[in-house]
Amino acid sequence: MCPTGQGLVKRKKGYMDWDLFRQVVDEMASHVSMSTLHIWGEPLLHPRITDMIAYCAQRGLHAEMSTNATLLTPEKSQAILEAGLGTIYLCLDGTTPQTYEKVR
């Protein structure tokens, strides 16, 4: 279950700074082959997620993300694909409201 949704995360909430993101990607690019853009939050909420995907792709990294897809519009889908997203994992907590309530 999502630790963020359960209120277990005690650190400050917010988005990763763009310059910090680029620095991290630059430092890891020669050591890894992929970047996972979905730990401890919904990646589609980040205002620069498309830029982040594109930056990873430019650095030769396979970018992947996990999302609940509630913010995945046709336009956003096209944008992240064009940016170079390699893998997307769709995470659903239930197919009915009752199942969702049991999980969450």
Distances (CA, A) of 25 to 31, 45, 92: 10, 20, 29
CA 73 to chain centre: 15
Q: Using the CB atoms, write b or e for 16-54: b if 16+ within 10 Å.
A: eeeeebeeebeeebeeeeebbbbeebbbbebeebbebbb
pLDDT in tens, 65-79: 999 898 999 999 999
pLDDT in tens, 23-43: 999 999 999 999 998 867 889
All structural domains of the chain with their residue ranges: 33-69
Asked whether the predicted pLDDT for residue 5 surpasses 70, the reply is no
- Greater confidence (9 vs 86) lies with 86
Question: What are 89's two structure tokens?
Answer: 């994992």
